[in-house]
Structure 1
Amino acid sequence: MANILVVDDELGIRDLLFEILNDEGHAVEVAENAAQARMARQASRPDLVLLDIWMPDTDGVTLLKEWAGAGLLNMPVIMMSGHATIDTAVEATRIGAQAFLEKPITMQKLLKAVEQGLARKPLASAPAKVGLNSNKDASGVFVTPQPVVLPPTHQSFDLEQPLREARDTFERAYFEYHLTQESGSMTRVADKTGLERTHLYRKLKQLGVDLSKAKRVA
């Protein structure tokens, strides 16, 4: 996948973005200020940077302007802020930022912005994901694939058992299937099944689904 640098002075934001992007298979590095961001950019040459606007030492727009002036803006930069004005967002875009994400950042908006950012800078070393690009529409957004039809022998259910047990059996098989299809990625399973990650974790624990087994099978 890609090397992504997350620059934000809030520990909670850094941890959240790290978890989501790492779960998607990206290599993620974090920095809490502009000084660390400069060093990380020099050392790791990220494929994409998520840059907070309001930081205590040097703000994100100033750092963006610095990189642009030095000819170092050779990677997509996505600005983030919970308090920025429209003028600030426009200025950042004029300098060279590719997109702007308003906090709180939803998982769907984050992944879509990262996907579009990386699409503008092809990664020669990134392995192709089988079947993924064929599901991308003209705007670069992935569309829902056609449902997979399973053979009748794939799973069987005892219809004589009480409804609650039957429902649990079906849900367990349902989630185990999607975990296997998504290589154990909780982020993608949550997105596909329409559940929040916290709810999904609770549901899997309640059903007794073995996450490590799902990843091994995948």
Structure 2
Amino acid sequence: MAQILVVDDELAIRQLLTDVLEMEGHEVRAAADGLAAVSAFEALRPDCVVLDLMMPGLDGYGVLRRIRGEDGEPVPVIMLTAAADRESAARAWVDGADFYVAKPFVPDDVVDLLHRLLYEGPVVGVV
């Protein structure tokens, strides 16, 4: 299966997504903040990133811009956020997010989106 980087400053969300994605057979690495996410991304070059928007230090927008600035094939990014408004979603898309998911979310929806992004090609939207 795929290697997924899960980035969220909330331990409970990181653990939930890690558990659900590992049950689906994916290899999961987690980061608790934006700087750790950038380092993990550069070291791992995962197949997909599930990225929280609001984090202390480097936020999800900053991480997304760094990811999109990397050479090579773009890695799909699913943004997670409690700030589910049009302005935030528009900014995420401008910065290169593939999907924008509002918290609270259904873990199976994230799994479904991930599978669509990895195995069916580009999709863009809001959940």
- CA distance in 1 between partners of 2:66 and 2:21 (Å): 26
Report SS of the residue matched to 1:67: helix
Query: Partner residue of 2:103?
Result: 103
Query: Among the aligned pairs, what percent are the same residue?
Result: 39
1:216 maps to what in 2? none
* Kept in 2: contact 1:65–1:95 (CA 8 A): yes
Q: Is the 8 A contact 1:73 1:96 kept in 2?
A: no
Equivalence for 1:61: 61
1:35 CA drift (Å):
1.2
The alpha carbon displacement at 1:107 in A equals 2.5
Cα distance between partner residues in 2 of 1:87 and 1:73: 27
Q: Secondary structure at the match of 2:41?
A: helix
**Aligned-pair CA distance for 1:86:** 1.3
How far the C-alpha of 1:39 sits from its partner, in A, is 1.3
TM-score by length of 2: 0.88
State the Cα distance separating 1:6 from its structure 2 match: 0.2
The one-letter amino acid of 2:53's match is I
Which structure shows the higher helix fraction? Answer: 1
Equivalent residues in 2 for 1:193-208, closer than 5 Å:
none
Distance of 1:58 and 1:85 partners within structure 2: 20
Q: Tell me the residue number matched to 1:25.
A: 25
Contact 1:67-1:73 within 8 A present in 2 as well: no
What runs of 5+ residues in structure 1 fail to find an aligned partner? 122-138, 140-218
C-alpha distance 49-111 of structure 1, shift in aligned 2 (>3 A)? same
Q: Is the 8 A contact 2:3 2:48 kept in 1?
A: yes
Q: How does 1:60-209 map to 2 (within 5 A)?
A: 60-71=60-71, 74-119=74-119, 120=121
The answer to whether the 8 Å contact 1:6/1:28 transfers is yes
Paired amino acid for 2:97: A
Q: Decide whether aligned partners of structure 1 residues 73 and 8 sit closer, same or farther in structure 2, where only a CA change above 3 A counts.
A: farther
Q: Which residue of 1 aligns with 2:15?
A: 15
Q: List per-residue Cα deviations over 1:143-188 (Å, max 9, x = no partner).
A: xxxxxxxxxxxxxxxxxxxxxxxxxxxxxxxxxxxxxxxxxxxxxx
TM-score normalised by the chain length of structure 1:
0.52
Over residues 48-86 of structure 1, what are the superposed CA-to-partner deviations in whole Å (9 max), with x where a residue is unaligned? Answer: 000000000111012212332344672000100012321
Q: For the aligned residues, what is the CA RMSD? A: 1.8
Report if the CA contact (8 A) 2:41-2:67 is conserved: no
1:88-127 alpha-carbon deviations (Å, 9 max, x no partner): 1111112211001111110231111111111228xxxxxx
CA contact (8 A) 1:4 1:50 kept: yes
Comparing both structures, which one devotes a greater share of its residues to strand? 2
Answer whether contact 1:76 1:98 (CA < 8 A) is retained: yes
8 Å CA contact retained: 1:53, 1:84: no
What secondary structure does 2:30 align onto? Answer: strand
Q: Larger radius of gyration, structure 1 or 2?
A: 1
Structure 1's 13 and 73: CA in aligned 2 closer, same or farther, altered over 3 A?
farther
